[in-house]
Amino acid sequence: MSSNRENAKRIYQANSEPTEAIVFVNWMKARNLRGFINMYRLSWSVNQMMQRARKNGLFDARVAIVGPREVLVVSYWENEEALRASFRDKAHVEMMRYTYQYPDDLVLGNETYSRPFSTRYLNEAGGFALAKSIHTPQEIPA
């Protein structure tokens, strides 16, 4: 039988050396029923775009349904060029076209960050994609 000390949480920290890696946070929020329907339709297309982007500089993406009318995506890219190339994908073009055509239906937003200032993971050495792709997190004393 193991003691509580053996089961204590482990903290892992990744080395945050300078890198070109990009973290892209974007969200979509439905304003009405038509926007709600199209948000999920467009989300499927964006998922397909992400599958294609994995071959061209996308390390990983985390998708979260924040509420019934809002979706959040955090994606990790090799560099800014790879991220910008995804903007030309047919799914992204379709999403932007719809948003401009029906401005009362959807709210879109994004934020872009270059490398993290701090990466810590509790009880999971692997962490998120950026840490996995650039360096292996090391256990630190709790």
Please give the tally of structural domains in the chain.
Answer: 1
Task: Give the mean model confidence (pLDDT) for residues 37-55.
Answer: 87
What is the reported pLDDT for 50?
Answer: 87
Euclidean distance between CA atoms 8 and 110, whole angstroms: 37
* Angle, CA 90 vertex, CA 95 and CA 104 arms, to 5°: 10
Q: Is residue 54 part of a domain?
A: yes
Any domain includes 129: no
Report the C-alpha gap between 10 and 63 in whole angstroms. 26
pLDDT at site 19: 63
CATH number, domain at 42?
3.30.70.100
Digit-coded pLDDT (tens) for 56-80: 999 888 888 899 999 999 998 988 9
Q: Is the pTM of this model over 0.75?
A: no
Beta strands 58-67 and 22-30 are: unpaired
- What residues make up the domain containing 114? 19-118
**Does residue 45 fall inside a structural domain?**
yes
For residue 55, being part of any structural domain is answered with: yes
72 assigned to some structural domain: yes
In a domain, 124, yes or no: no
Q: How confident is the model at residue 114 (pLDDT cuts 50, 70, 90)?
A: confident
